[in-house]
Every structure is written in structure tokens, then in C-alpha cells.
Structure 1
Amino acid sequence: MGNSASLKNHVETSKKTGVLNLSDSHLKQYPETIDVLHPYLRTLDLSKNKFKSLPKTVGQFKELKVLNISNNSLETLPDEINNLLKLETLQLSCNLLKTIPILNNLSNLKRVSIGDNQLSIFPEFLCQLKHLETLDLSKNKITQVPECIKESRLVELNINQNQIRKLPVALAECTRLKTLRIEENCLELVDIPREVLKSSKISLLCAEGNLFDMKSLMGIEEYGIYMARYTEVKKKMF
């Protein structure tokens, strides 16, 4: 953002459009002048800046549906984000987050991205959000997937590039899970539950870069059942 006059113009325009894009604006601090937009904004993009923190006032954007604060230097998030009851998309990738608040009020969330952070524990509250379809937790330090994953309504789960050593059978009980990305973890072949291949809804399993070669996985009897689902989905796409 070149100067305060330019930011002021952005703010005035956003009152009409409901959208404020301050991505890649070389901002070191959250600009408090945008707080006048609390009643108006539906989309707020603060990505690719240098924020280390966000103020509690961010929780007053009650009309917000999309919040993008990826590619900053955030170490924590204010609990007040839990007040954004209309939020559908939350993008937090490429920060320094070790934990995130329990955002169990955000029942309208559909897409959450927390990739490339420093999480060591899978945020279990996400499994309770009944509208959450896509979850990206790639490039963290997560070691296990919780049993409560079976309660989720996820369609796609990305846990690539973590430190996961075992997958729970509960993944096979996810009623809507179609895509599972588990590349570059610490999984051995015995750590892939046969139920995931045989009886789940998963039709795209990306598992390269673990402690087994893909030929070994393909050699499992149940892999043929998974491939039948994969092929059926591919046919429907064309």
C-alpha cells in the first residue's frame, strides 16, 4: 500500500463492494483504519504481508465469509475469530502457527487451509464442523490423525508432508471423504489400514514419498477395490 491516501480510497471502495484486498501491500501491522468496514466486508484478503499478530477487533467483521491471512508471520490468532459466524473460507497457510484457537462457533466453514505452519497436533474441533469439506494441514509437524476424524464431513483431506506414522481405521468411516493426500510422511505399508482401500469412499489416494514403494501398495489385494472406485470416478469426469 503506497500511502495512507491510497488505503483510504480502498476503504471507501470496499464499503460499496464488500471486498478489501490488501494482499502483498508490504504492511508490517494490521491497518486499524479498516475497522470502519466491520458492517460491510464479506471478503478480507491480508495475505502476503508481514503481520506478526492480529487485533481482537478482527472478530467484529460479522458479515465476513472469506478471510485470507496466509503468507504472513503470525504466531498466534485472537480467539475473537470465533465470532465470525458467517465465515466459509479461512486461509492461514504459510505462517508460524503452533496452535490455533478452538473455532467451534464457525459452523459455516467449508474450506480451511493451515498448510505450512508448525502445528504438531491435528485440531480435533475441525472434525465437528459439519459443513467443512476441504481441509489442508500439509507441511506441518502432525504425528497422528485423531479417531474423531470419522465424525467429519470432509470431502478432501490433505496431510502431506507431516510426520504421521500411522493412519486410523476411522478414516474408512468418513462418509464423504473422496480425496486423501498422505504424501511424504513416515508411514510404512502396515500403517495403511486395509479398510481405507476396501470399504471407504476414497477414490483418490496420494501416498508417494512414504517408507514403502508404491509397487508394494499396489500389490495388496484390497488395492484393486480402491482402483475400481478410482476408475469409476474417472469415467464420470469424461
Structure 2
Amino acid sequence: MSEETLARLRSGALAGTQRLDLRDAGLAEFPREILALADTLEVLDLSRNALDTLPDDLPRLHRLRVLFCSDNRFTELPAVLGRCPQLEMVGFKANRIHTVPGHALPARLRWLILTDNAVESLPPALGQRPRLQKLMLAGNRLSALPDTMATGSTSLELLRIAANRFGALPDWLGTLPRLAWLAHGGNPLTAAQEAHALDGHALPDIDWSRLDTGAVLGEGASGVIQQAAWQLPDGTRQPVAVKLFKGAMTSDGSPSSEMAAGIAAGLHRGLIGAQGRVVGHPEGAQGLVMPLIDPAFGVLAGPPSLDSCTRDVYAPDTRFTPDAALSLAAGIASAAAHLHAQGLMHGDLYAHNILHDGAGGALLGDFGAASFHPSPMADALERIEVRAFGCLLEELLARCGAADPALGALQARCVQPTVALRPGFAEISTQLDAVR
């Protein structure tokens, strides 16, 4: 399809287009014909090619807002990006980038993806991009973030620094007024806790030979989930779901960190927890056995879009009764309180990671961004995640009728800019139970 699109581009048939997808087009050089779309092109995807440079006159694309160049051969973030006047989303995942010049960061930068590269340091200019909301840096070689971010990244809401070389988290993360979604697993600062979870036998081993797998239920960046029947020692067969990890770096971090968190999370009625750990897979794959969820449960919302950036996208007709919204919020708050009591933050507390039954029942899943607390920052990390819950509560209240005013007051406390003044999840659960 991309080769067909390239042929149409070169024939002039795409004049006036706003979005151009040239993934897997076999490109070794930037097609000059793209520049003829200067007056209309806003989104350009050049992923999965063999590019290592961009043209100096790329800023001729004066309406370009989004550029994806993942899975190419760049070794340096191209300086020309900094001269693109409207560019706000930059994606260079899985290249060979080791250098990020400050002048390569566009003035309007809102979303930067440098996952799975070889970056060892970032320029002070990163903290001088006041619109930055989403920063994805998992799978690099970072041991620090620019100090300028402490005061200059007040719009930052989502940060992924998992699978790097951090020995400690910057103290100032706990002061950023809008930070809500943080992943920092797979660093030296959490290595001992992850190793203990993986080696501590908190879950029973389930031999692959006792699992009869069936239909694929879903596939994400970190693994594949299948329906299965687990043959118990007494001969009975229990319906379960099995997640086999791919072993590849994801935008949230490494599968081993996800597995450690899933094991350490334990069981809770509001979590899609693990029942056992897969052993004896013929290809050595790691995996977890989880309960099979009632098909009455569906995903609460879709993930963020290019435009919404950090906020989930709900179906236009999504509505909740006040009782259902309250029940859902209380269930998720209780699950989050349980996680933090185990020394974990979920890292991705979003509606798109919640299954619900439409009547207030809810299950929080997907531990891909979950991280252990470094003990000196446990309170700050919990209150960072409280803001994520506050965003969820805001979304629920916006889609139901007249709710108890106490919920609006609680939501405001959860998202207030002074992180230390936000309530913890135990207090939130108590307040929600009092309203029910």
C-alpha cells in the first residue's frame, strides 16, 4: 500500500492531502515530492524505512504538525526539526539515536517519542519547551534529566523513563503540577525489587503442558493474550487467559518489569491480577496466567489520539448513571490503594486500561507501565498517580447526570497543582465509600 501511495505522490495525485503515510515504502532518501504538499500537509509518517537524514528545506512544510520516523537509521535527532514552525509531535522510536541537539527541538513541541534508542543525555532546551505534555524515553541510556525541567516542564503530564540507567528519580518530579502518568521500572533504582518479585515465588508455577490455548483475545506491544483451559491437579479444567510476553522493548518499558509488577500486585477484586506464572514453554517464553474476564465487560474508552495527546477518547454516546460512575470510581480507587500498599504505582491509570460492565463494575489491568516505589519518593509517586485518578473522575462526572457535589470537590483536590496537598488513595476510597 505504501508503494502505491508513493507512486500516487510522484504522479501528483495526492495534491491537497493533509495526511501522508509512507510506512514500509522502501525509502532510503526523503522523497522530494512531499514538499509539493507544503500548503496542506499536517501529518507525515515515514516509519519503517531506511532513512538517516531529512532535507534542510523540510520547514517548507509550514503546516506540518506531526512527524513519525520510527524504525529508521537516524543516529542524531535532525536539527532541521527545530525550524519547522508548526511541528508539535515528533516520533523517532527504535532508531540508533545517541545525540539530541537542543536546537532540534521544535518551539511548539508537545509530544516527543525517543523510545528504544541510545540516548545518554538530553539538552537543557528540553525544559524550555513549555507546551511539552508527553515525553517517551524508555529504553535508552539516561541516568538524569535536565534540571531545567524542574521549572520549565509545568505542562508535562506523561513521562516514560523506564529501562534506562537511573539510580534515583529527580526529586522535582514530585513537584510538577500536571504529571500524572509515570513509568520508571527497569532502572537500577528498582532492580532489587523487581528481582525479588521475579524470584520470590509469590505465584505458583504453571507448566505450559497443563495449558490448552485457544483463541487470541488481544495483542499489545508487550505480548499476546490467549484464551486457555488450565488443567488442575484434580483433573478439572479452569478457563483462564494466558499472556505470553514478546521480549521486546515497548513505549512503557520492558516486559520483565511488567511481569515483576504483575506478580507483586497480588490479588484484588478491582484488578486483573495474575494467578500463576508460565514455566516450561517450548520456546522459553515467559508468561502469566490470568482470570478469564466475563465478556459482559468492555473497555471503558479508547487511548489518546494525536489531538487529545494525553486524554482518552470516549465513544460520543458514553453515559453513566451517577450510581454507576460512583461505583466505578470507588472500585478503581480501591484497586489503586491496594497497588500502592504493595509498593507499586500503576503508571497508566487510564480509562483505556479499565474494563467495565456498564453498571459500575470495573477492573484495572495492563501493568506495562507499572513501577516499584523507590522508598524515599513513595508518597510523591502516589500523589502523582492520584492526579491520573482525578482525570478519570473528571471524565466520569462529565458523562453522568447530577452527581453528588462531594465528588466534584474530591476531583478538584485530586488534580490540584500542589502535589503534596492531594489526598492519598486510602483517603479517596474512604470518601467515596462515604458518598455511596
Equivalent position of 1:39 in the other structure: 39
2:175 equivalent to 1:18: no
Assess if the C-alpha contact under 8 Å between 2:18 and 2:42 holds in 1: yes
Equivalent position of 1:141 in the other structure: 141
2:326 equivalent to 1:169: no
2:390 equivalent to 1:233: yes
Q: C-alpha distance in 1, partners of 2:181/2:388?
A: 14
TM-score (norm 1): 0.78
Assess if the C-alpha contact under 8 Å between 2:347 and 2:385 holds in 1: no
Assess if the C-alpha contact under 8 Å between 1:64 and 1:84 holds in 2: yes
User: In structure 2, what residue type is equivalent to 1:174?
Assistant: L
User: In structure 2, what residue type is equivalent to 1:229?
Assistant: V
Unaligned residue ranges in structure 1 (runs of 5+): 190-196, 209-213
User: In structure 2, what residue type is equivalent to 1:164?
Assistant: F
Q: C-alpha distance in 1, partners of 2:146/2:381?
A: 27
User: In structure 1, what residue type is equivalent to 2:9?
Assistant: H
Q: C-alpha distance in 2, partners of 1:224/1:140?
A: 22
User: In structure 2, what residue type is equivalent to 1:29?
Assistant: E
Alpha-carbon distance, 1:102 to partner: 1.6
User: In structure 2, what residue type is equivalent to 1:10?
Assistant: L
| Identity level (%) | 25
Assess if the C-alpha contact under 8 Å between 1:60 and 1:83 holds in 2: no
2:181 equivalent to 1:179: yes
The secondary structure found in structure 2 opposite 1:16 is coil
Assess if the C-alpha contact under 8 Å between 1:203 and 1:226 holds in 2: no
Equivalent position of 1:112 in the other structure: 112
The secondary structure found in structure 1 opposite 2:14 is helix
Assess if the C-alpha contact under 8 Å between 2:121 and 2:144 holds in 1: yes
User: In structure 2, what residue type is equivalent to 1:233?
Assistant: G
One of 138, 154, 161 as aligned partner of 1:159: 161
Assess if the C-alpha contact under 8 Å between 1:56 and 1:78 holds in 2: no
Deviations along 1:98-155, one digit per CA (max 9) or x if unpaired, are 1123247723222110111110003332221111100001110001123222220200
Q: C-alpha distance in 2, partners of 1:114/1:216?
A: 24
The secondary structure found in structure 1 opposite 2:81 is helix
User: In structure 1, what residue type is equivalent to 2:137?
Assistant: L
Instruction: Note the 1:72-221 alignment, pairs <5 A.
Output: 72-103=72-103, 106-151=106-151, 152=153, 153-187=155-189, 204=347, 208=371, 214=372, 217=375
TM-score (norm 2): 0.45
Deviations along 1:68-89, one digit per CA (max 9) or x if unpaired, are 1111111134322111111121
Go from structure 1 to structure 2 and tell me whether the alpha carbon gap of 1:95 and 1:220 turns closer, same or farther (over 3 Å shift).
closer
Go from structure 1 to structure 2 and tell me whether the alpha carbon gap of 1:172 and 1:40 turns closer, same or farther (over 3 Å shift).
same
Equivalent position of 2:53 in the other structure: 53
**Matched residue pairs, number?**
219
Equivalent position of 1:64 in the other structure: 64
Assess if the C-alpha contact under 8 Å between 2:9 and 2:34 holds in 1: no
Equivalent position of 2:293 in the other structure: none
Alpha-carbon distance, 1:63 to partner: 1.1
Unaligned residue ranges in structure 2 (runs of 5+): 192-339, 349-368, 397-436
Deviations along 1:18-75, one digit per CA (max 9) or x if unpaired, are 2221111121222223232233311111111111222212232111011111111111
2:29 equivalent to 1:29: yes
Go from structure 1 to structure 2 and tell me whether the alpha carbon gap of 1:90 and 1:34 turns closer, same or farther (over 3 Å shift).
same
Q: C-alpha distance in 2, partners of 1:105/1:72?
A: 19
Q: C-alpha distance in 1, partners of 2:347/2:177?
A: 15
Larger Rg: 2
Go from structure 1 to structure 2 and tell me whether the alpha carbon gap of 1:33 and 1:88 turns closer, same or farther (over 3 Å shift).
same
User: In structure 1, what residue type is equivalent to 2:6?
Assistant: L
Q: C-alpha distance in 2, partners of 1:138/1:221?
A: 21
The secondary structure found in structure 2 opposite 1:82 is helix
The secondary structure found in structure 1 opposite 2:135 is strand
Q: C-alpha distance in 2, partners of 1:224/1:143?
A: 19
Deviations along 1:157-177, one digit per CA (max 9) or x if unpaired, are 100110111112111121111
Q: C-alpha distance in 2, partners of 1:28/1:104?
A: 21
The secondary structure found in structure 2 opposite 1:171 is helix
The secondary structure found in structure 1 opposite 2:58 is helix
The secondary structure found in structure 1 opposite 2:148 is helix
Higher fraction of strand: 2
